[in-house]
Structure 1
Amino acid sequence: MSTPFVYDVVLRCLHKINGERTVFSIYHLLCGKKSSQTIQDAHLFQLAPFFNTYNAITRQEFVTIIEELKASELIEHKQEDVYQLTQSGIFYVEDEKAKHPFLKYLDGYRFQTAELFWARLSLLVQVASHLIRNESRFIPIQSNRHVQSWLKIFIQRGQFQREKLGHSLYQELSTCLEGMTDLDPAIFVIRLTGHERIGLTEMQAASVLKLESTLYHYQFLALLHEMMNRLLEGKSSYPLLYSMISDLHNEALLTDSTKKTYQLLSKGYSIEEIGKIRKLKVNTIQDHVVELALQLTDFDITPYVKEEKIVRIIEAKDKTGSKQLRHMKEIVPEASYFEIRLVMSRYGEEK
């Protein structure tokens, strides 16, 4: 049996962080943990595509992966929970890159609602195929009540005529799937349920297509992400499909708590005042400010860190070549960790 593709993903992530974070930062990344640290790491280390792409993994399963990579001498232990790739590991990652070009479509952080998009779409395909045949009795492929309720409202609105729904859906899906190099549309189509046709589960689809299960998982996810990307970029060409995600996608993927802090910041309250109002620690509010700097390109960080200090922190980042805050603080001791995090959030991804 081939090595699970998720092992390759973990190696890629370890290569990116290069010993500057613990291995569990990768576990949190794959699970899509919505903490300021995980979100910041996703951007600082250019790992946003892998965010929330394998949320079914357990901590023990992840530990097993690390142990097996170590036993294979692809990684080596540096300090507590910190590992780096060996030379063999680096060669392995470089060699594997050319074998999986479909990863260029993966965009986990941007499309965190991909699973919900799939649930809606797969149910709509099933419903449309039965409407064409004037059949209303069938077992919904999606048992989620919220998804079922959403679809009922979607159809009742009457924006798309029932008799033309199936045709429009087929045309838009066909167009959307065309020209996806490095991805086989069968990855997606084989999962669809229609009239007198039951779509395959993820495991069944992987078996039929003769793909290792986690490789199939990532290909399917990458295809969904690219579909959503195409719908957003050409929404006028996909009125039906775009209407399915128009309420899901938010360019600024802020956590709910950060949104509340942002509202108060916009009213002129200070970090300390917001902490008192919301009964949260100042550090928590600072985490929200860092998240805002990451997500909002027009968010001004100068009220929280002076311009001359920003320059010094950027110089320290370039000098150390590291993304570890303590290394930068050694060079700019007068800067707080909050100020360094804020500057790194805004400028840390620059080459």
Structure 2
Amino acid sequence: MNLSLILLSIIHKLDGERTIYAGFHLLRGKRSGQTLQDVEYYGLKAFFGILPKLTVDQFNEAATLLKNSGFIATRDDSFVNITEQGRQLVATLPAYAFNGWDYRGRENLFFARLSLIVQTVSHFKEGQHAFMPVQKDYDSQSFVKTLLHHQPISDPAYARYIAEELRLCIERSGMDNEQKIIVSHRLSGFGLTGWTWDQLAEYLKLNSFAVRLLFIEGLHRMLAVIEQSSDLSFLRKIADNVKVTTYLTDSSSKTKLLFDRGMSIEDIAAARNLKLSTIEDHFVELSINDPQFPLTQFVAEADVEAVVAKVDELETRRLRLLKAEFASLSYFQLRLILGARTGGDSS
């Protein structure tokens, strides 16, 4: 697994509709109207925000590798296409198990809790009640203290119970052997220190960036299993509130509250002292995420059906091309239709 191949998969979905940096904003989890629309329109939820600290240099290196290998090509308008050679490569790639849309980096919160619990129980089992916690942040420590309060953490049977749930989860997750090694070796215990990224990279003969990607996907696999399994009660407690509960940005949520009170877009912009275009972005976000969004308050159903049919006919969601076909509709109306009726799949 490497960044270039993930980027190639993204470009394959966006094929010819966006510039190369749409992939950069997607991977970093940018909460702009355009990126949030792309996530839905092109079925890219899996990759959203999986690399929030991705640098431009790292991204450019991956993109340059794809260009030099002949897998992608940039047009005169700066939009990027996947080549036939690139399509052939994509067809050979395994399906990724990322779920960036639901976790958005919060898989690290899950692992912080898990690693501290494993460390704590393993030390208490050996009669060692004083140790340097592997997780320093207050929230993780507070969570673990609450969860383990009044539990028989010195009893070896309790440690075996946690270990068995963890074993079952990993086995059911579909992780490959490399991921099993990465996840297990990142854990610390009595007399054992979790491995660094560089140590894992050297052991697995991978670069540290690939190790991190495998780690993230491995955690997403585990979280998916935990959510679906009724017999992993302890791990379900650790995963509590890790999955995102609302997909709206805070600002869009405030706009929705005012809209639900009956305020118009113009009144909301005035009340919030924001540009009208910003409020429109919020409404597009609402159209994407709210199945009950009242689309016909903004555009006639006949126009909605016509635009959806044209999207299918032209096989494009590019606003400029659709605007040429529907001059009477505003860009805002077109964006609402795309958001509410022509979103990508949920993967």
TM-score, length basis structure 2 = 0.90
- Pair 1:208–1:347, CA change in 2 (3 A): same
**Residue type of the alignment partner of 2:278:** T
Which stretch of structure 1 is more off in the superposition, 37-46 or 212-221?
212-221
Name the counterpart of 1:294: 288
Residues 138-187 of structure 1 show CA distances to partners (whole Å, capped at 9, x for unaligned) of: 2221233332233334334x4x5534653432222122112333523323
- Pair 1:50–1:151, CA change in 2 (3 A): same
Q: Classify the secondary structure of the residue corresponding to 1:228.
A: helix
TM-superposed deviation, 1:94: 2.3
1:107 aligns with 2:99: yes
Query: Separation in 2 of the partners of 1:212 and 1:93?
Result: 22
Query: Separation in 1 of the partners of 2:51 and 2:9?
Result: 14
- Pair 1:58–1:166, CA change in 2 (3 A): same
TM-superposed deviation, 1:21: 0.8
Which of 176, 179, 187 is 2:182 aligned to? 187
Query: Separation in 2 of the partners of 1:79 and 1:166?
Result: 61
**Residue type of the alignment partner of 2:299:** V
Query: Separation in 2 of the partners of 1:134 and 1:297?
Result: 54
**Residue type of the alignment partner of 1:154:** L
1:246 aligns with 2:243: no
Query: Separation in 2 of the partners of 1:175 and 1:225?
Result: 15
TM-superposed deviation, 1:80: 4.8
TM-superposed deviation, 1:327: 1.1
TM-superposed deviation, 1:251: 4.4
Query: Separation in 1 of the partners of 2:291 and 2:125?
Result: 46
1:147 aligns with 2:140: yes
Name the counterpart of 2:84: 87
**Residue type of the alignment partner of 1:216:** V
Which of 321, 333, 337 is 2:331 aligned to? 337
Q: Say whether the 8 Å CA contact 2:40–2:344 is kept in structure 1.
A: no
1:203 aligns with 2:198: yes
Residues 14-65 of structure 1 show CA distances to partners (whole Å, capped at 9, x for unaligned) of: 1211121111110011111122211111121111111112233211222233
Query: Separation in 2 of the partners of 1:150 and 1:191?
Result: 20
Query: Separation in 2 of the partners of 1:221 and 1:61?
Result: 17
Query: Separation in 2 of the partners of 1:14 and 1:167?
Result: 45
1:284 aligns with 2:278: yes
Q: Say whether the 8 Å CA contact 1:111–1:228 is kept in structure 2.
A: no
- Please list every run of 5 or more consecutive structure 1 residues that lacks an aligned counterpart in the other structure: none
TM-superposed deviation, 1:304: 2.4
1:174 aligns with 2:167: yes
1:221 aligns with 2:213: no
Query: Separation in 2 of the partners of 1:329 and 1:20?
Result: 15
Residues 96-120 of structure 1 show CA distances to partners (whole Å, capped at 9, x for unaligned) of: x1xx34x1x2211122111221122
1:36 aligns with 2:33: yes
Q: CA RMSD in A?
A: 2.2
TM-superposed deviation, 1:70: 2.0
- Pair 1:130–1:300, CA change in 2 (3 A): farther
Q: Classify the secondary structure of the residue corresponding to 2:172.
A: coil
- Pair 1:221–1:314, CA change in 2 (3 A): same
Query: Separation in 2 of the partners of 1:304 and 1:203?
Result: 54
**Residue type of the alignment partner of 1:213:** S
Residues 198-246 of structure 1 show CA distances to partners (whole Å, capped at 9, x for unaligned) of: 1112332233233443433222212211211222223x42222212232
Q: Classify the secondary structure of the residue corresponding to 2:142.
A: helix
Name the counterpart of 1:233: 228
TM-score, length basis structure 1 = 0.89
- Pair 1:214–1:72, CA change in 2 (3 A): same
Name the counterpart of 2:20: 23
Query: Separation in 1 of the partners of 2:9 and 2:233?
Result: 37
**Residue type of the alignment partner of 1:162:** I
